[in-house]
Amino acid sequence: MNPLGYLSKNPDDKRTLVVVFLRGGADALNMVAPVEDDGYYNARPLIGISKSEAIVLDDLFGLNPEMKALHPLYTEGLLSFYHGAGSEDRTRSHFEAQDLMEHGGETAGGWLGRFLRYRPEPATGSLSAIAIGKSLPESLRGAPAATVMESFRDFSLGDDSIGIVNGIEKLYGLEEGEMAASAVDTLASMKRIESIRNSDTHPSDGAKYPQNEFGEGLMRIARLIRAHVGLEAACIDLGGWDSHLTQGPIMNPRMRALSEGLAAFAKDLGPLMATTSVVVMSEFGRRVRENSALGTDHGRGGLMMVLGGGEEGGHVTADWRGLTDEVLEGPGDLPVTTHYSKVLAPVLRRHGAGEDLSVIFPARERVAVG
């Protein structure tokens, strides 16, 4: 039995979906600001992004200058922003909101796991789905196969790699069935990752990732995609967006990390971005009005981004109704005008999902998925 023959049960030309979760409730109005709406500056006289500093996106919105690395991707038509995105849930709890969003409703398993499981051809290779970090995100629960890694070193076979390989091949080499295939597939994946780690492979086209955990994680995902290991889904977090106090010092380095990381990722992959989609999401947005500590409190409507993968970008999609008291919800929240599943729906279909997404989002009867 040749272990490399089991490296991936998925063809090399499969698409890859990368989900970036901004944990902590990222402030949509600070990232993509409605600079032509006077209500924005009435609500945020001290922390609002000035019209002169914002990078023009359209006749209403401007991009925070800390995210300037994303602007070329936007003008090239590779990147879209979706304002007022979120879920129907009105909780102010980070954990509850993340849990419900990642599960795709009040149901077992995660929306991404169900997508990978219930397609006509389930993603079953041991490297078909990965999570960068220490634990499996809830969105990947229920996937046919998923691997958690902090670094490629997690998959080292150690000093006795030859002995391990020989032992597993001897144990399973003549066996048939799911257990044997799984063992050999895992072994092949470990060998391939170790090979990737030991290779002198640098990012393509001079791409420079930010020197932080997020940048390093994106670079590992890009290396797996470029190595054609059959990666179909990858999850990575960027945390620390809970900006109750002094919002600028909290958000600015995270916006730079996000934008510079995504820009490097797109440059590194080059033509492979045609089959690679990146979705950026957060559990909820922030309240419209700044607080007395020059921060913002938990709100509702947030921001989603879609990059690559055939996205017809270069637009900000928003059902913008203004920022008057009549429009805002509850204590002064931006309303959710686009359910997050409606942003995900066309992306998932480009990655092989059918028209009926009720298996992926069981609450579809309550929230129409476009």
Q: How far apart are CA 27 and CA 359, in angstroms?
A: 31
Q: Following DSSP, what letter does each residue of 259-300 receive, concatenated?
A: HHHHHHHHHHHGGGGGGEEEEEEES--BBSS--TTSS--B-S
In a domain, 332, yes or no: yes
In a domain, 370, yes or no: no
Which H or E run includes 161?
helix 161-172
In a domain, 40, yes or no: yes
In a domain, 109, yes or no: yes
Q: Please report the pLDDT score of residue 93 as a whole number.
A: 86
CB atoms within 10 A of CB 170: 9
At residue 256, φ and ψ (nearest 5 deg) are -65, -45
Q: Please report the pLDDT score of residue 105 as a whole number.
A: 83
Domain of 113, in residue numbers: 3-365
Strand 338-339 versus strand 302-308 pairing type: unpaired
Q: Please report the pLDDT score of residue 3 as a whole number.
A: 30
In a domain, 114, yes or no: yes
Contact 315, 267 (CB under 8 A): no
Q: Please report the pLDDT score of residue 185 as a whole number.
A: 63
In a domain, 297, yes or no: yes
Q: How far, in whole angstroms, is CA 214 from its chain's centroid?
A: 12
Q: Name the domain count of the chain.
A: 1
Distances (CA, A) of 349 to 106, 228, 345: 23, 21, 6
pLDDT digits (tens, 9 = 90+) for 47-78: 999 999 999 999 999 999 999 999 999 999 99
**Pick from 14, 16, 15, 23: which is nearest to 280 by CA?**
23
**Pick from 256, 332, 283, 309: which is nearest to 89 by CA?**
283
Residues 6+ apart with CB under 8 A from 152: 193, 194, 196, 197, 220
pLDDT digits (tens, 9 = 90+) for 143-171: 999 999 988 776 665 555 556 556 656 66
Q: Please report the pLDDT score of residue 181 as a whole number.
A: 57
* DSSP-assigned letter for residue 159: T
What CATH number corresponds to the domain at position 225? Answer: 3.40.720
- The list of the chain residues with pLDDT below 70 reads 1-13, 154-190, 198, 200, 364-370
Residues 6+ apart with CB under 8 A from 71: 55, 63
CB atoms within 10 A of CB 211: 9
Q: How far apart are CA 231 and CA 222, in angstroms?
A: 10
Q: How far apart are CA 126 and CA 133, in angstroms?
A: 17
Q: How far apart are CA 231 and CA 229, in angstroms?
A: 6
